[in-house]
A = this chain, B = another copy of it.
Amino acid sequence: MGRFARISHADLRAAAARVAARQGLARTTIAAIAKEAGVPTGSIYHRVPSRAALLAEIWLEAADRYGTAFLARLSGASSLDEVAQAALVTPFLAREDPAAGVILFVHRRDDFLDDAPAESRARAARLVAALRDGIAAAARRLAPADKRARERFALALIGIPYGAVRTFLPQAVPPLELDPAILAAARAALAAR
Which residues of A line the B interface, CB within 8 A?
24-26, 106-108, 110-111, 114, 148, 151-152, 154-156, 158-164, 166-167, 170, 175, 177-178, 180-189, 191-193
Contact = CB atoms under 8 A, between A and B. Distances in A.
Given A108-B24, A108-B108, A178 B155 contact: yes
A25 B154 CA distance: 27
A158 B26 CA distance: 26
A65 to B, nearest CB: 20
Contacts of A108: 24, 106-108
A155 B164 contact: yes
Contacts of A183: 192
Contacts of A156: 181, 185
Nearest to A90: B163
Contact of A192 (B148, B159, B163, B180): B180
A151 B180 CA distance: 12
Contacts of A166: 159, 162-163
A19 to B, nearest CB: 15
A104 to B, nearest CB: 13
Nearest to A179: B192
A29 to B, nearest CB: 13
A173 B73 CA distance: 30
Contact of A188 (B26, B107, B184): B184
Contact of A24 (B111, B159, B177): B111
A26 B158 CA distance: 26
Given A106-B108, A180-B192, A185-B156, A164 B167 contact: no
A185 B192 contact: yes
